């Protein structure tokens, strides 16, 4: 059984001119323990698809299934583009928040969250305020908070998009290490072809709006992966082919 299974998913919204179609007949599946990337042009409906997978919205037609059941609020752990750390809570309390919301006592939640600070590169920053963290550390804290939501499916919506190039590369490598240890199922949205190829087992390519899946690529690189992979000739060829596919689809819709 797929962890996430989207079948002929369409999503429409009311608009002044009638109806705007964000997604049209999307078919997509993610297997347990798999890392899948979703790429496409701005406005193609990637974030809409995430809202459907997270159970925050309902499809206009089609099915969005998580572990064989219709997606509902709480079906997945969802990290949006912004880290959304609460500025009035210290980092430890931000991380522990999903555990408290699930009914765990505050002290127990803080102890459980604190056990993971070293793995997430945050040891020693438990008592800091979010404003005292660098961009990369804020993302680590947000990812830890997402990780502590007790679901096997993680939905990560461009988590590194706002970071500088060096920090982004470091975070990509770190995320692969954490994923390799936990093997949680990940669907990862990005605009960056290089990031998709470096992180994912498979890549889905979406068309301009209304978004539909136009290609599914199996990434031909094994794990573990290091940043040196990006300099290899085969990586460059795969990146060029994927960019060509994206540009060709954009031209069709121009």
Residues 157 and 36 in one domain: yes
Q: How many structural domains does the chain have?
A: 2
Domain match, 24 and 12 both: yes
Same domain, 125 and 182: no
Distance from C-alpha of 135 to C-alpha of 159, rounded to nearest angstrom: 11
- Which of 150, 176, 206 corresponds to the end of one domain? 150
Query: Within this chain, do residues 11 and 71 fall inside the same structural domain, yes or no?
Result: yes
Q: Are residues 173 and 214 in the same domain?
A: yes
Q: Tell me: do 103 and 157 sit in the same domain.
A: no
Same structural domain, 27 and 109: no
pLDDT score recorded for residue 222: 87
Report the b/e string of 96-130 with b at 16+ CB within 10 A: bbbbeeeebeeeebbeebeeebebbbbeebbeeeb
Grouped pLDDT means (10 residues each) for the chain, 254 residues: 90 85 94 94 88 93 94 88 90 95 93 92 94 91 90 90 84 88 92 93 93 93 88 92 79 55
Domain that holds residue 90: 83-150
Are 141 and 164 in a shared domain? Answer: no
Are 2 and 185 in contact, with CB atoms under 8 Å apart? no
How does DSSP classify residue 66?
Answer: E
pLDDT tens readout for residues 125-156: 999 999 999 988 998 899 899 989 888 899 99
189 shares a domain with 100: no
3-state secondary structure 193-246: HHHHHHHCCEEEEECCCCECEEEEEECCCCCCCCHHHHHCHHHHHHHHHHHHHH
pTM: 0.90
CATH number, domain of 35, equals 3.40.50.300
- Within 8 A by CB and 6+ apart from 238, the residues are 197, 219, 220
Last residue of a domain, one of 120, 150, 180: 150
User: What pLDDT was estimated at residue 250?
Assistant: 59
Angle ∠(174,169,85) on CA atoms, nearest 5: 65
201-237 pLDDT per residue, tens: 999 999 998 999 999 999 999 888 888 899 899 999 9
CA distances from 191 to 17, 81, 106, 140, 223 (A): 29, 12, 38, 20, 22
Q: Quick one: which H or E segment has residue 93?
A: helix 91-101
Whether 161 and 49 share a structural domain: yes
The reply to whether 143 and 160 lie within a common domain is no
Question: Which among 127, 150, 173 is the end of a domain?
Answer: 150
**Rounded to 10 degrees, what is the CA torsion of 23, 25, 31, 32?**
50
């Amino acid at each position: 059984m797929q962890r996430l299974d989207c079948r002929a998913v369409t999503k429409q919204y009311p608009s002044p001119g009638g109806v705007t179609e964000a997604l049209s007949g999307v078919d997509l599946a993610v297997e347990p323990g798999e890392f899948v990337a979703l790429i496409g042009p701005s406005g193609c409906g990637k974030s809409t698809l995430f809202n459907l997978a997270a159970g925050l919205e309902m499809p206009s037609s089609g099915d969005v299934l998580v572990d064989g059941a219709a997606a509902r609020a709480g079906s997945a752990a969802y990290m949006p583009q912004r880290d959304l750390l609460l500025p009035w809570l210290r980092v430890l309390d931000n991380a522990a928040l999903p555990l408290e919301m699930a009914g765990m006592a505050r002290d127990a939640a803080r102890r459980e969250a604190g056990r993971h600070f070293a793995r997430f590169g945050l040891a020693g920053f438990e008592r800091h305020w979010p404003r005292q963290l660098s961009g990369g550390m804020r993302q680590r804290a947000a990812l830890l908070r997402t990780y502590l939501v007790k679901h096997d499916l993680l939905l990560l919506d461009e988590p590194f998009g706002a970071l500088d190039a060096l920090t982004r590369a470091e975070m990509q490598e770190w995320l692969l290490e954490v994923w390799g240890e936990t093997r949680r199922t990940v669907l990862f949205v990005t605009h960056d072809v290089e990031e998709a190829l470096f992180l994912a087992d498979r890549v889905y390519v979406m068309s301009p709006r209304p978004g539909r899946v136009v290609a599914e690529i199996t990434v031909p690189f094994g794990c573990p992966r290091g940043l040196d992979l990006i300099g290899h000739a085969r990586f460059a060829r795969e990146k060029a082919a994927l960019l060509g596919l994206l540009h060709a689809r954009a031209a069709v819709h121009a």
